[in-house]
Amino acid sequence: MVLGDTPPRDENGPMDFATLALDRGASPVLYRQLSDQLADAIGRGELAAGDRLPSERDLAMALGVSRTTAVNAYRELEARGLIRGYVGRGTFVCAASSSEPAGAPFAWRGKLAVGAQRTLDPTLRSIVRAASDPAVISFAAGIPALECFPTEAFREITDRVLRRGARTAVGLAPTEGQPALRRAIASRASIRPEQVLIVAGAQQGLDLVARCLLDPGDAVVIDRPGYLGAIQAFRAAGAHLVGWDAGQGDLDELEDLLLRYRPKLLYTTTTFQNPTGRTWPLPLRRDLLELTARYRLPVVEDEPYRDLSFGAAPPPSLFALDGGRSVIHVGTFSKTLAGGLRLGWVTANEAIVDQLALVKLRDDVSTASLTQLVIADLLTSGRFDRHLAELRAEHSRRHQTMLAALRRHVPTGALNCRPVNGGLYLWCRLHAGLDARDLFQTAAAAGVAYVAGDHFYPDGAGANELRLCFSSVPAPRIEEGVRRLGSLIGGHRHQATHLNGAQPLV
């Protein structure tokens, strides 16, 4: 199924409308009963933003009511800003019913452009919010150990950069980025500075790639599970997402998908993946490039965690192996320095860098100059590499702390996860019929946050998986957060009747 400019839904599609129960003799009148039930279904999430509703005629036939009843019900929902009709295309759900204050002359939700309606998922915003709430022990956001941030070096370099010339430091940088930073990044990747585009974080890079390369209805092959911000960026561009389990590394399966869906591009995180933490071995990288070259398929390689190995360096990136011909590579300082700096980069063929810069210009003329100049100095002076060594060691300790705490506090057989060799995450599977989304509600009430697994699947799978970030909080808080989580899991598990196929925590 290739979806047009509506957000893709899981394969079951919208609800079965024939099951709506209307009572002719009762009040309110039929069309109000119908609009109320549809509004409830939107509120419960059974109908999601972007779902197409049946035509008024089909709905009337399915329910055995007059067409006027269906027309009036849709009018009512449209006035409440919950659905919107498009001439020639049909009627679509446009918002969850959280809705707006009463009394406005119209519902703003009902005025949203089709493109904006593809951007209604608040998950990333909630993750960022939980990370800054001191009352919450958050294992949700992917944040490095900020206690290691090189504050002194940063302060000293900022001072020097400002003294050298405030004009350059606070003036507009070229849209492509400050030449000094482009040179520093290019030299680390052994490429030309013209192949580097500076962006306000990797997320901007992904959004630019999506805006630059995708038309509504284009298919994109994406890691399953995969980074939720990428799912959102490609979905916002109207793409049809096709999941491929890169962890299995089955290239025959991938080739089948290429033949069946003719995708416009393939997106993957090859190194210490978000959320699973896995890293592709070198042969898989080579074989994938051979396959994508045969199909002339562009690859977007998102590698924010490359520099965060606990031990040996990971294999070369797809970008390096391919010589930057058909791979667009996305990097960021969010995971090695701090996400609040909002600084990342895209490396690619010069022609595509040029086009990406023009698209960037539409809403971001220039990435903050001062931060670029300071980080360029950190990179060239060797201070960044010294910082990385410290950061990796601290992450490795926190990783061990979290694994030990999980072993100590989570009942045996209730949760399964594997140690990783780098990155920021543990990917865990709950057993005994536990649902990560249900557990999330009780965890939030107990002041612990994580990300439920379903957010990493384009098709809503992953109900019993969850992602824990081990790097963001110091050891004592890891211990306390995992203790709370463990006792909640124990409580939930107590309620579950059996324990099927449970495996011990690795």
- 454 part of the interface to ligand PMP, by CB under 6 A: no
DSSP state, residue 108: G
- Please identify which residue in the block is written with the tokens 């140690």: 419
Pairing of strands 137-138, 448-449: parallel
- Please, which residue, 342 or 407, has the CB nearer to ligand PMP? 342
Q: How many residues bind ligand PMP (CB under 6 A)?
A: 14
Pairing of strands 299-302, 265-268: parallel
- Please, which residue, 69 or 203, has the CB nearer to ligand PMP? 203
Burial of 290 (0-12, 13-18, 19+ CB in 10 A): exposed
Binding window for ligand PMP (CB under 6 A); candidates: 161-169, 171-179, 198-206, 291-299: 198-206
Binding window for ligand PMP (CB under 6 A); candidates: 6-14, 167-175, 200-208, 441-449: 200-208
Binding window for ligand PMP (CB under 6 A); candidates: 42-50, 195-203, 237-245, 490-498: 195-203
- Please, which residue, 74 or 305, has the CB nearer to ligand PMP? 305
Q: Which residues of 75-103 are buried (b: 16+ CB within 10 A; e: fewer)?
A: ebbbebbbbbeeeeeebbbbbbbebeeee
Q: Which of 243, 344, 411, 462 binds ligand PMP (CB under 6 A)?
A: 344
- Please, which residue, 97 or 274, has the CB nearer to ligand PMP? 274
- 269 part of the interface to ligand PMP, by CB under 6 A: yes
Residue whose CB is nearest to ligand PMP in the complex, by number: 201
Q: Give the Cα-Cα-Cα angle 433, 437, 441 (nearest 5 degrees).
A: 115
- Please, which residue, 52 or 285, has the CB nearer to ligand PMP? 285
Q: What six digits make up the tokens of 337? A: 């320095």
- Please, which residue, 81 or 339, has the CB nearer to ligand PMP? 339
Q: What six digits make up the tokens of 86? A: 């498009």
Round to whole Å and give the CA distance between 190 and 183: 10
- 334 part of the interface to ligand PMP, by CB under 6 A: yes
- 302 part of the interface to ligand PMP, by CB under 6 A: yes
- Please, which residue, 81 or 315, has the CB nearer to ligand PMP? 315
Burial of 29 (0-12, 13-18, 19+ CB in 10 A): exposed
Q: What residues form DSSP beta bridges with 222?
A: 243, 267
Q: What six digits make up the tokens of 413? A: 């057989």
Q: Which of 97, 309, 332, 366 binds ligand PMP (CB under 6 A)?
A: 332
Chain residues binding ligand PMP by CB under 6 A are: 142, 201-203, 227, 229, 269, 274, 302, 304, 332, 334, 339, 344
